A and B are shown apart, each in its own frame.
Chain A
């Protein structure tokens, strides 16, 4: 059976009394003609790449090709112990920016769901796994839950900044990340759904306005924020807080908001931060260098 909504996903998991990842793996194995082991082996490879990128960007300052950004992940990692926001939030944010730094430096990353939002899932999930002392195999399972949420968003809205703005890229990544974290922390399928709704509602309407058209400003920091929000959304859901608007309606609303956004604010670098005086100056400088 094909699962098209979060509601169907939750009901199916509840009926089978299984975790979302368990039913996703079963279904995807059938659909893609692979064994569950083949699926988890491949996801494990992706998880390795995620961890490596997070380690690289937190252990030293990684600079972008253009030189506009660099070192954000390393700086926050250094400050994580003494920060106000709490160790886990800061580690998650630092790791997310670290992966985003690696991306901007032409390093190896996993598009999750896109290259622009590639830091959020690793930032949140690696940190949650560390805190919860989970094995890699359990984390990889949770990534299937994240992927299922991403697929449902892709079917009912979009994952592309050019179509839906940054809410569709970083917002979706945050929703996918929080889904994985809730499951990893032992939350119910229904709590996964609420967390997804919180993460998307937090950034509803967020525009895609990259300075000079590059995946750097504001993308690196938005990755850092997205990972922190994923952990907060997970904690809210695990505390028993419910989304008043059901997650599927939130996803449809996100799609509608994305359509309503003007083209200037959808990855064209013709609006928002891209056309601020500083944004324009940076653009001139980048082009001069070419």
Chain B
């Protein structure tokens, strides 16, 4: 057990799941978009929708997409910070969704060249899980160095990506593949033990059949 999980982390209150976890969800959505967001629409479900305001969940989610970390004192004024940066944002209640975790948010982010849709939950103690990206089912925590690829669903794609990683001496801790339907687009998530070197995103995107690669570092 890490002793700084017992005393620590340093965070902006009041709640590890409703505030710190919400910031981390926003951070992950921003990283998945992979560029500066220009527009954001965030839907809050269940407990996030019910008690979100009192916990500052709304401010925390916006702070996350601005790239603030859970101990940043600007979280409290994230709406004003977003306005200063000219980022349009909208927060709406999605109400009760019994099929989703109690603390769930969905992001529709738009950058200058890309858009993404990310659904994730704050599962306690500030830890989070991303459950879907652009409609693909996923399940990862952002606690590892993570590689995500959107690629053509054809034989050999997994081998191409893992070869690229093993060539850089990166050890895979977990991986998961999901797809829209056979032969269409698929999504691969690889969680690695080692820090992912510069340029790996570009290298993966050069591979034939890879539409897009995303790299996420643990916050």
Contacts and interface: CB of A to CB of B under 8 A. Distances in A.
Given A115-B16, A160-B124, A213-B51, A108 B56 contact: no
A162 B15 CA distance: 13
Contacts of B6: 112-113, 147, 150-151, 154, 159
B14 A215 contact: yes
Contact of B4 (A42, A49, A159): A42
- Max chain A C-beta neighbours (<10 A), residue from B15, B71, B125: B15
A155 B5 CA distance: 13
- Max chain B C-beta neighbours (<10 A), residue from A115, A121, A212: A115
Interface in A196-228: 212-216
Given A106-B76, A108-B73, A144-B3, A49 B10 contact: yes
A216 B12 CA distance: 15
Contact of B11 (A65, A109, A212, A214): A109
Interface in B93-113: none
A150 B5 CA distance: 10
Interface string A37-67: 0010011011001000000000000001110
Which secondary structure dominates chain A's binding surface? helix
Given A65-B56, A108-B73, A289-B53, A118 B4 contact: no
Nearest to A283: B51
Nearest to A146: B7
A45 B10 contact: yes
A108 B11 CA distance: 6
A66 B55 CA distance: 8
- Max chain A C-beta neighbours (<10 A), residue from B9, B14, B51, B71: B14
Given A43-B7, A46-B7, A118 B13 contact: yes
Given A107-B73, A108-B73, A160-B125, A215 B13 contact: yes
Contacts of A147: 3-4, 6-7
Contact of B54 (A66, A112, A113, A150): A66
A88 interface: no
Contact of A105 (B11, B13, B50, B59): B13
Interface residues of B, number: 33
A107 B1 contact: no
B189 to A, nearest CB: 27
Interface string A170-197: 0000001000000000000000000000
Nearest to B51: A213
B97 to A, nearest CB: 18
A156 interface: no
A103 B16 CA distance: 11
A214 B47 CA distance: 11
B188 interface: no
A154 B4 CA distance: 13
B117 interface: no
Interface in A148-170: 148, 150-151, 154-155, 159-160, 162
B2 interface: yes
B55 A214 contact: yes
Given A115-B14, A289-B53, A110 B7 contact: yes
A151 B3 contact: yes
B66 interface: no
Contact of A107 (B9, B12, B54): B12
A151 B1 contact: yes
B8 A112 contact: yes
B138 interface: no
A40 to B, nearest CB: 11
Given A106-B59, A155-B1, A290-B53, A143 B15 contact: no
B7 A121 contact: yes
B7 A214 contact: no
B42 to A, nearest CB: 15
**7 shortest interchain CB distances as A-B pairs:** A103-B13, A150-B6, A213-B51, A215-B14, A106-B76, A66-B54, A214-B54
Given A24-B3, A104-B14, 17 more contacts: A32-B2, A46-B10, A66-B54, A105-B76, A106-B12, A108-B73, A111-B9, A111-B10, A111-B16, A112-B8, A115-B11, A115-B13, A115-B19, A118-B13, A146-B7, A154-B6, A159-B6
Interface of B: 1-4, 6-16, 19-20, 47, 50-56, 59, 71, 73, 75-76, 124-126
Interface of A: 24, 28, 32, 39, 42-43, 45-46, 49, 64-66, 102-116, 118, 121, 143-144, 146-148, 150-151, 154-155, 159-160, 162, 176, 212-216, 286-287, 289-290
